[in-house]
């Protein structure tokens, strides 16, 4: 059970993969938007949509599926209550919530407060009694052929190789300002020979326009005002030579697709340690501890972004 955001659910895919390798037939309870990242995933037998406004809507369905165990990865009381009401015999979850003793009969001592490890590792810890100790090597996202072809076709309109810059996000972490992203894009244009694509999330077209208007190297920038459906957007991300953003769901999609990722995180070790992208080629750029995000050196960042783009 992981009922929060896109990136959060992707960071549960190593757990799903390990449970499948251990012989499990895995179904996933997840949110009404994030579920799309599990589509086409061979480790997932069934996706069950959770509605926080009606948390017991799927109670009878879950009862009928006769599950042996539930792993409540994202600790929410109503989800914990749901799996108990469904009569699932083994219920794994954090031992540190006030309600844990009422719902979990396999409590796990786990605390995320200090950000001592990666979120994907915390997820694996919930099932440690079943899968043992495991290292997080990658996350999993599986575009189908139609989505890959869509990305290829859409990218052909850019006229060549490109780096994707995604300035938005839902505020889960501090990020660069529009002006700083414009400065970054200009610096990338001075180092990289291909195009720089600015891509918006839902409701972020205004941000893209602001970055574009503040940038000087408009001849090198393509702004995509269209907000693509998530799976099609992933197909497009898969064609990028590098993906650049703050801590966002699309950042985790890019990393899962093995696209080189450069991400901006606040200073200090905690946030980056817990939420950094998990992929083959990644880099995290931060200001000095306690420093403002706009204190990041965009020239140095552009050099690193270009270096990683040239590896792909």
Q: Evaluate whether 6-131 and 145-309 have a shared fold.
A: yes
- CATH architecture of the domain 145-309 equals 3-Layer(aba) Sandwich (3.40)
The whole-angstrom separation of Cα 180 and Cα 178 is 5
Whether the full predicted model's pTM is greater than 0.85, yes or no, is yes
Tell me, what's the pLDDT at 229?
96
From the candidate CATH numbers 3.40.1170.10, 3.40.50.2000, 3.40.50.150, 3.30.360.10, the one assigned to the domain spanning 6-131? 3.40.50.2000
The average pLDDT across 40-50 equals: 98
Taking residues 36-60, report their average pLDDT: 97
Burial class of residue 284 in the structure, from the number of CB atoms within 10 Å of its CB (0-12 exposed, 13-18 middle, 19+ buried): middle
Q: Is pLDDT at 173 greater than 80 in this prediction?
A: no
- DSSP of 61-103: HHHHTT-SEEE--S--HHHHHHHHHTT-SEEEEES-STTHHHH
Q: Where are the domains of the chain?
A: 6-131, 145-309
Condensed to tens digits (0 to 9), the pLDDT of residues 197-238 reads 999 999 999 999 999 999 999 999 999 989 999 999 999 999
Output the pLDDT for position 106. Answer: 96
Residue appearing with tokens 């985790």 = 252
Where would I find the H helices in the chain? 6-10, 13-21, 59-64, 77-85, 100-103, 119-126, 128-131, 145-156, 178-191, 205-214, 230-237, 249-256, 270-275, 298-309
* Cα–Cα dist 263/197, whole Å: 16
**Distance between CA atoms of 38 and 28, rounded to whole angstroms?**
9
* Residues constituting the chain: 312
**DSSP bridge pairs for 264:** 285
Read off the pLDDT of residues 266-286 as tens digits, 9 standing for 90 and up: 887 888 999 999 999 999 999
User: What CA–CA distance (Å, rounded) separates 162 from 170?
Assistant: 24
The reported pLDDT for the residue numbered 171 is: 64
């Amino acid at each position: 059970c992981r009922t929060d955001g896109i990136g959060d659910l992707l960071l549960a895919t190593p757990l799903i993969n390990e449970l499948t390798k251990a012989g499990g037939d895995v179904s996933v309870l997840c949110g009404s938007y994030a579920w799309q990242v599990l589509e086409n995933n061979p480790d997932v037998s069934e996706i069950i949509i959770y509605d926080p406004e009606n948390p017991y809507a799927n109670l009878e369905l879950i009862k009928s599926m006769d599950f042996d165990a539930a792993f409540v990865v994202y600790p929410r009381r109503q989800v914990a209550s749901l799996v108990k009401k469904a009569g699932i015999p083994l219920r794994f979850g954090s031992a540190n919530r006030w309600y844990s003793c009422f719902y979990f009969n396999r409590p796990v001592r786990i605390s995320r407060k200090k950000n001592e490890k990666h979120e994907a590792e915390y997820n694996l810890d919930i099932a440690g009694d079943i899968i043992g100790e495991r290292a997080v090597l990658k996350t999993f996202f599986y575009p189908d052929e139609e989505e890959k072809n869509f990305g290829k076709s859409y990218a052909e309109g850019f006229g060549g190789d490109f780096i994707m810059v995604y300035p938005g996000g839902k505020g889960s972490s501090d990020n660069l300002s529009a002006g700083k992203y414009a400065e970054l894009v200009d610096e990338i244009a001075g180092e990289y020979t291909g195009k720089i694509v600015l891509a918006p999330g839902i409701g972020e077209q205004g941000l893209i326009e602001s970055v574009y208007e503040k940038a000087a190297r408009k001849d090198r920038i393509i702004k995509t005002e269209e907000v693509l459906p998530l799976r099609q957007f992933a197909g497009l991300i898969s064609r990028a030579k590098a993906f650049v953003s703050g801590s966002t769901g699309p950042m985790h999609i890019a990393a899962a697709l093995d696209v080189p990722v450069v991400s901006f995180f606040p200073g200090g070790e905690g946030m980056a340690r817990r939420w950094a992208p998990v992929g083959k080629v990644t880099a995290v750029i931060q200001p000095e501890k306690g420093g403002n995000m706009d204190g990041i050196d965009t020239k140095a960042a552009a050099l690193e972004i270009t270096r990683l783009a040239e590896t792909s």
